[in-house]
Amino acid sequence: MKYYDLSDIRVLVVDDNRFMRNILHHMLKTLGAGKIEHARDGGEALALLAEADYELVLSDWEMERMNGCEFVRTLRGDRGARNRLVPIIMVTANGMIHTVLEARDSGVTEFLVKPFSVDALYRRILMVIESPRQFVKTKDYFGPDRRRRNDPEYKGPFRRASDEKSRASG
Amino acid sequence: MSDDDDGVEFISNPNRIRSRVKLVPGRDASEMISRADRSVGQLAGGFSEILSESLEQVTAARRDVEGAGDREMGIARIRKVLHELRGQAGTFGYTLISQIADSCCRFIDRAPTLGPREAEIVAMHVDALLAVRASDIKDATEPAGAELVTGLRQVTQQHAAGKGQG
């Protein structure tokens, strides 16, 4: 597995559970992340993100006050936000499909289901580094392109105006 | 750098993280990850304290659910604690605790109403967690653990199938 030196990145961990923040901090530190900061909810995270540049955010989903989904939507929806395009890995113990879809539609970059190992966390970070997705802006969405795969064998409609099948069916 | 496509705009991601990290040729990350895993494992000692605190909280909430307290609010408090527990327990290898907490959270999330029968099923999960801690069972490969998981699965499945009354 490729070895990246992460000592020059700044990471924000957003979680309302102190123990979970500590675990994530510890994992990131042992993976060599340079600066690791913490926020206890989405509101605190937005305040920190307005003050400095971050290369990565790890956010819990269920938090009191502002939860992870609201936090991501607010950040992605703010045209002037300093870290609007920052990669966000959503970390949650709720791996139900509707949660995954809601996270995706709020604009998260990657999804990590608890419990997870250091290996799983590192692989998500590798994905963020090596397979960045362009951002998409539509009238009701701003975030990473939700079409992760580029399958040359795919024959269905792409649901873009440039796609003939979409025009024919729509 | 954007590409308008009938209401869809594509924005190139500058990928700041890529520009701030350095690929180290000739080194494999596996060794670092194993070291990190061992290091995280050392935090497991703190988990027994978390487990005790969590079980105290769910036991207190359960008293409210079964007594004169607000049932729905009590179940919501139990869910909140167990939601945290299902993630933390698994990280430290307490897979059975994680499984039971997850089963309870999913049951609560899917229950259309939270009446006396639902409160009873939530209480069964709490009892199971207390039993697991008392017997120090780590996973469902142990017979007692398997029995607990199977029993809870039957109860929640029967409830989902509409046979959970009574």
The model's pLDDT over B107-117, given as tens digits with 9 standing for 90+, comes to: 999 999 999 99
B48-72 burial: b if 16+ Cβ within 10 Å, else e: eebbeebbebbeebbebbeeeeebe
B110 interaction partners in chain A (CB closer than 8 Å)? none
In this structure, chain A runs to a length of 170
Q: Strand, coil or helix: what is A5? A: strand
pLDDT at B62: 93
Question: Could you tell me how many CB contacts below 8 A there are between chain A and chain B?
Answer: 148
Q: For residue B165, what are the CA distances in angstroms to A82, B72, B121, B122, B149?
A: 54, 18, 11, 14, 20
The yes-or-no verdict on residue A90 having pLDDT over 90 is yes
Give residue-wise pLDDT tens across range B22-38: 999 999 999 999 988 88
**Tokens 């050392």 sit on residue:** B42
pLDDT at A115: 84
pLDDT band at B19 (very low <50, low <70, confident <90, very high): very high
pLDDT at B3: 44
pLDDT band at A170 (very low <50, low <70, confident <90, very high): very low
**Averaged pLDDT for residues A23-39:** 95
Substitution target from B2, B17, B57, B107 for chain A, most A beta carbons within 10 A: B17
User: What average pLDDT is seen over chain A?
Assistant: 87
In the stretch 59-78 of chain A, residues with CB closer than 8 A to chain B read 62
pLDDT at A162: 54
d(CA A27, CA A165): 46
Q: Does B8 touch chain A (CB under 8 A)?
A: yes
pLDDT at A91: 92
pLDDT at B45: 79
Backbone angles phi, psi at B43, to 5 degrees: -80, -10
Instruction: Give B4's strand partners.
Output: B9
CB contact under 8 A, B87 and A20: yes
User: A20-34, A93-107, A116-130: which range is least confident on average?
Assistant: A93-107
pLDDT band at B48 (very low <50, low <70, confident <90, very high): confident
pTM of the model: 0.82
pLDDT at B2: 46
